[in-house]
Structure 1
């Protein structure tokens, strides 16, 4: 990867995603060290990026105010949303994949419903916002210059003022909530600061999904299980329920191809056996081998045709013939 600006790791697929400043998107399978996909997005510098944990779709923000959704199976964006009238500076998606928060140079923090790609609420901030993060309890933290402002209730429209404000003494560049804890990590010009945000983390730890108290041996076992349960990149879709559905178009096409077998005239079987230089008087053996192969090919074609007939045409119910009476049946 060249001139990388942002990195994301898809843990269920073992994919390392890198966005570069020359508008290239790279997907690398770290379990086998293989590049899965690499393509140009033609969207300028990709320095704003995040992932949706529920559907491992990559969200990227651009200088024209749009947010694009990417998958390694498509070189074109799956969805493009016009989120701001100016450059997008921050994107965050909650753990459930329902809400997306975006910030831009238009001094707005907008909350979006990812399921319908519709804006729910918009909030005005003092000036340009650099980064944004969403906690497990849907608290939104915004980097506003040297300050960090935490808002509560942005997703349902009940937010009127910041819940917490903290001065870091330097320009804030990165924000990230710690899962299962009420802690916010802040990266700024003067270093790193951890900030307590009461009620931001989920107190009910799901040890099957993420165990913050796991030991060294448990971590090794978890990595082995994750490798065994690794999902293929082809399964990354915008709607995860598509995997459970039947591709009706492809199924109809296969049915039409099977129907053609019923009406195609049987082709002449052409087969020329290889001449063996073992003996000069082997003409009848060559003919016998030829007939055996021809009969085998005809049998396969007939079986295929009979299976298609049984599938498309219902067999008439066989009439049960009455059993002939035997002369000794009267003695039973």
Structure 2
């Protein structure tokens, strides 16, 4: 069983309630039909029910009736949600009139459903920008305890079993925070290790804090940031297996790790890679994907109290299907 199959089976074993706020979008509705047919998750579809049923009939989708449909224009809980949103955002100047309009927005509505424990996670992005996806999540659901920055992890599935966890690695941040400071980088490390557990199923995340230096081989303020982030991550999670600063080869190749970082428990054995900035992460995973032939799954947003994931607007039906399973696995972990 490959990693994707394991993620799907894990989702099926403890079904979570996932909101799809772009339910009238064709790829989303087709993915929803597959999710429901395969019993991967319980779905809440936001949109006009008549339109959803009409589109399902038009496209030959036979499982949509298994989902819960919520019409944002005729939702009996709209006033309850508007009152709560006003309370949540009153210090930011939220008025009841503005809140009543916002809770008709499917992205805000989905987050209100999660906030009031009616759902466990949300996925959007087939039609919406990353900013539009994240804004209501951060305003309503907010960050997880002890976390102040959101980041994105990528699962890298390679044909090189000698690296990572039988060829699988988790890399962060590849999607959100352009230039994290030491505190933010520490949070990214802790969150990426958690994603490695909840989504990739790693029993023992081993985190390498990457740099162009290994254990003082070079001196620069950006190296100092990685060293400080490593220290802070250890304070945040004393049980976390983490080391840095390490170069990429020292983190992955045992012989190189032993030579460059003798005595390190992570060098040569890392399965989680944390890069010093978004630029490095985005470039790195795309090079590994295109030149190295790796399969990249994600980005998986992390750091939010309940999972809210962002899709590429060029996503496929299969991408959405997989992201539902990934979000479900994150939701299980968030409840612990």
Q: Which has the larger radius of gyration?
A: 1
Q: Does the TM-score normalized on the shorter chain lie above 0.5?
A: no
Please give the range of the TM-score, normalised by the shorter of the 2 chains. Answer: under 0.3
Choose between structure 1 and 2 for higher RCO, CA contacts under 8 A separated by at least 6 residues: 2
| TM superposition score normalised by structure 2 | 0.25
* More helix as a share of residues: 2
* More strand as a share of residues: 1
| TM superposition score normalised by structure 1 | 0.25
